[in-house]
Amino acid sequence: MRRTNRIFLTFLIALLPLAAMAAEKPGVLFRDRLKQGNNGPELLVIPAGSFRMGAVHGGGDSDEKPVHLITIARPFAIGRYEVTFAEYDLFCAATGREKPKDGRRWFPFSNWGRERRPAINVTWDDAVAYTRWLSEQTGRTYRLPSEAEWEYAAKSGSEDRYWWGFNVGENRANCKGCGSKFDGKKTAPVGTFPANRFGLFDTAGNVWEWCQDRWHESYEGAPADGTAWEAGDDQRRVERGGSFGSKPRYVRSSARGRGKPTDRYVYLGFRVVREL
């Protein structure tokens, strides 16, 4: 009996490297188990690769230039969706943090709903704290995406204004003038609109998403390897993707925003990266 158990244990140990390799395959969806018993955010593996970062399609703002080549050497996993209230509220309950309001903070009856809606009114500092909590809960390295990782994942192989093409069209995203019932009013539950070519949802519109990088007025001197650009004295952090209140030009894949790490607004959320 003991010999059988040893053989079975040896077999399981032999499978561990194969499981790790499978988890790094592009397109794989997975969740890490938290120590407290819940599952973490749903993650999607993004392949290594190169892309041109910035307003490749022409036009764009000065902060989207110069267009430059980025090479991401290793695959990484990124949140399939923006972090939801259901996920963020678990963190608040576990750490004793105050739960952010699910609507406009100064209007008592503007609650939009929690659960599958993106967590909003979350500062950059809050978002970083959440990634550190996930790391502690899972034994894996979670963090905010670098700006380059975010744009690579959002473009998903496209060099058009939007991942789906040159024109904003109708009902492709939640923004002001994108043709949905949420336009300019409030957030939509994550996954309401079509996924991009990688399988990610809401990379255009819904909420601006915090990135790890410090803000720079242009890409002159930006890292070419896709890592976060932490050099510089500007305390502001990068925001990407636009929101439900943004005009179509601000939900373009190359459009950029910035904010103080203590900013807490109804249009601000985030998604996470997990290193492989």
Instruction: Give the number of other CB atoms < 10 A from CB of residue 79.
Output: 26
For range 216-241, the mean pLDDT: 98
Query: Which pLDDT score is estimated for 18?
Result: 40
Instruction: Kindly state the helix (H) or strand (E) to which residue 8 belongs, with its residue range.
Output: helix 2-23
Please give the model's pTM, rounded to 2 decimal places: 0.91
Instruction: Kindly state the helix (H) or strand (E) to which residue 269 belongs, with its residue range.
Output: strand 268-269
Token pair of 69 as six digits: 């080549």
Instruction: Give the number of other CB atoms < 10 A from CB of residue 147.
Output: 28
Query: Which pLDDT score is estimated for 17?
Result: 43
For range 150-158, the mean pLDDT: 98
Look-up of token digits 């373009």: 252
Token pair of 261 as six digits: 């790490």
What residues contact residue 142 under an 8 Å CB cut-off, 6+ apart?
Answer: 40, 131, 132, 134, 135, 272, 273, 274, 275
Q: Of 74, 35, 29, 69, whose CA–CA distance to 53 is shortest?
A: 69
Among 9-18, 64-73, 74-83, name the one with the lowest average pLDDT: 9-18
Q: Of 192, 167, 98, 95, whose CA–CA distance to 137 is shortest?
A: 95
- Residue spans of beta strands (DSSP E) within 31-177: 43-46, 49-53, 68-72, 76-79, 142-143
Among 1-5, 134-138, 209-213, name the one with the lowest average pLDDT: 1-5
Residue pLDDT, tens place only, 84-94: 999 999 999 99
Query: Which pLDDT score is estimated for 23?
Result: 60
**CA 111 – CA 40 distance, rounded (Å):** 25
Greatest distance between any 2 Cα atoms in the chain: 71
State the chain's mean pLDDT as an integer. 92
For range 49-68, the mean pLDDT: 95
Contact between 61 and 73 under an 8 Å Cβ cutoff? The reply is no
Where does 120-231 have alpha helices with state H? 124-138, 147-155
**CA 218 – CA 240 distance, rounded (Å):** 15
DSSP letter, residue 48: P
pLDDT band at 6 (very low <50, low <70, confident <90, very high): low
Please check the confidence at residue 174 and state whether its pLDDT lies above 90. yes
The percentage of the chain sitting over the pLDDT mark of 70, rounded to a whole number, equals 89
Q: Of 93, 211, 87, whose CA–CA distance to 149 is shortest?
A: 211
Residue range 25-274 forms a domain whose CATH class is alpha beta
For range 187-206, the mean pLDDT: 98
Query: Which pLDDT score is estimated for 57?
Result: 87
Higher pLDDT, 227 or 12: 227
pLDDT band at 109 (very low <50, low <70, confident <90, very high): low
